[in-house]
Amino acid sequence: MGNVDLVIHHITMGKIKPEESKALQKAISKGVGLAGCHGGLGNSFKRMPNFNI
């Protein structure tokens, strides 16, 4: 994700693997923006507390 400025999260009721979660969190901590649509941040990855915003 080194060349990404913004991640638009649009997955609803999905699952994320631990290594995918770590990579996304690392990118965000380095300044990549995160936006959600269609319930993307509020209703997905329910088993990953870091994404229960």
Residue-wise pLDDT for 12-35, tens only, equals 777 788 898 889 889 989 999 988
Q: What is the pTM of this model?
A: 0.71
Q: What does the domain layout of the chain look like in residue ranges?
A: 6-51
Q: Is 33 within 8 Å of 7 (Cβ atoms)?
A: yes
Average pLDDT over the chain, rounded to an integer: 79
Q: Which of 29, 30, 28, 34 is nearest to 7 (CA)?
A: 34
Q: Which of 40, 43, 49 is nearest to 18 (CA)?
A: 49
